[in-house]
Amino acid sequence: MLREAQRLHPLELVPTFLGAHEVPAEHRAHKQEYVRILLEEMLPAVRAHGVSEYCAAFTESHVFGLEESRRILSRARELGLRLRLHADQLTPLGGAQLAAELGADSADHLEFVDDPGIEALGAAGVVPVLCPLVPLYLRQTQEAPGRRMIDAGLAPALATDFNPGSCYLQSMHEVLTFGALRYRMSASEALAAATLNAACSLGRGAALGTLEPGKQADLLVLDLPNHEHLVYEFGRNPVRAVVKRGRVVVRREPACSNLGS
């Protein structure tokens, strides 16, 4: 299915195995048996069929605790998969420190990360991936300390967390605006978080994320007077063209293109 999706459109997919993102209902009474299936059956099959580049774990006590996540992700790493963690979203469990310990490329959410967790992420070069609309969707008051991360020297990425369970949002433009409003990011910081830092979180910072010689020509043409309007405007789609690998793959005409003619 993922290969077919990749064939049908020009955007690049980076598949992640999410078997450790939830415990299926039929296994909840025997979670350790499901962990065994992950370790002994599912992860080897994922690797053998080459269907995923990454393995992610939802590291929370009600899903996969620290030790369970460590076992699952260590096995995934042994099999050659790269790692991501859904960490410290609901409780200060220590998922950030685990991401640093295991050398994950990213730690996502981090609403409850503490200062030792931030320090560990920075020391290990783990990219924090922040999802500023998720607390709004979940009606939660706790937000990731994005400003504190930046001030500590980290380079967070911004993401929609588009999914049918907790944040049914596809607009990166709105994510940038909320990144500025909620995390006190400047327009330049929000732009970097949505481009270069995001590419680095996927291990692709050397080829994507900035416009410079030798990198892939992926870019947007926006109907905005300057980059500060990326976080100033809200609720309007400013995209006029999408360029992928140097080729225009989407072109949109302004709604009022005939105004005044």
d(CA 136, CA 166): 10
Instruction: Please name every residue paired with 58 in a beta bridge, in sequence order, or none if there are none.
Output: 86
Cα–Cα nearest to 128, from 41, 136, 137, 148: 148
pLDDT in tens, 102-130: 999 999 999 999 999 999 999 999 999 99
pLDDT in tens, 170-206: 999 999 999 999 999 999 999 999 999 999 999 999 9
d(CA 125, CA 200): 10
Query: Which 3 state secondary structure label does DSSP give 90?
Result: coil
234 within some domain: no
227 within some domain: no
Q: What are the residue ranges in the chain where pLDDT is below 50?
A: 259, 261
How far from 144 is each of 126, 204, 261, CA to CA, in Å? 15, 24, 49
d(CA 139, CA 244): 36
How far from 228 is each of 157, 185, 186, 232, CA to CA, in Å? 18, 11, 8, 6
232 within some domain: no
Instruction: Please name every residue paired with 54 in a beta bridge, in sequence order, or none if there are none.
Output: 16, 82
d(CA 57, CA 70): 9
What's the burial of 98, exposed, middle or buried (CB within 10 Å: 0-12/13-18/19+)?
A: buried
Task: Label residues 195-222 b or e (16+ Cβ within 10 Å = b).
Answer: bbbbbbbbebbeebbeeeeeeeebeeeb
216 within some domain: no
Residue 206 domain boundaries: 2-210
22 within some domain: yes
d(CA 26, CA 7): 34
pLDDT reported for residue 188: 98
Instruction: Please name every residue paired with 107 in a beta bridge, in sequence order, or none if there are none.
Output: 85, 128
pLDDT reported for residue 5: 81
229 within some domain: no
Total structural domains in the chain? 1
239 within some domain: no
228 within some domain: no
CATH code for position 65: 3.20.20.140
